[in-house]
Amino acid sequence: MNWRATCHVIHGDEIQIEQVILNLVCNAIEALRESESNRREILVRTSQDEQLIVVDICDTGPGINADDVERVLDAFVSTKDEGMGLGLSISRSIIEAHGGRLWVEPNPDCGVTFYVNLPTSQDADS
């Protein structure tokens, strides 16, 4: 059987992308600290297809109020008492500057999932 793995790459600043993922994981960790549930989980999933690299960061924390879901990615909006409301806004700006999309959805049972989609280009040398 002959097969060739296809590698898709993201063109952009890898440090900025890394900082976005790190920010989202750190936010999930902080959310779990506030959780009163015994179920404290963070799941990071990655996948790719011909056009997108997808990263989902899912937590079982207390979640985000329905009123805040639409605005939590805006500048100076924070769900934390000590938060400045800049981390998610900057993260969204970075992802959009790379041609991608960042958004959040409440999980059906508890917590939230942040989704990062980034466009790819096929690396012919892989």
User: Is residue 67 very low, low, confident or very high in pLDDT (cuts 50, 70, 90)?
Assistant: confident
8 pLDDT higher than 80: no
In Å, how far are 1, 51, 73 from 58, measured between CA atoms?
A: 37, 22, 16
C-alpha to C-alpha distance for 85 and 75, rounded to whole angstroms:
6
Per the CB < 8 A criterion, the answer to whether 24 and 57 are in contact is yes
User: Is residue 22 very low, low, confident or very high in pLDDT (cuts 50, 70, 90)?
Assistant: very high
Tokens of 1: 């059987």
Domains of the chain: residue spans and CATH: 7-123 (3.30.565.10)
**% of the chain beyond a pLDDT of 70:** 81
Tokens of 24: 């989202």
Per the CB < 8 A criterion, the answer to whether 117 and 56 are in contact is no
3 pLDDT higher than 60: no
Facing residues of 105 across strands? 113
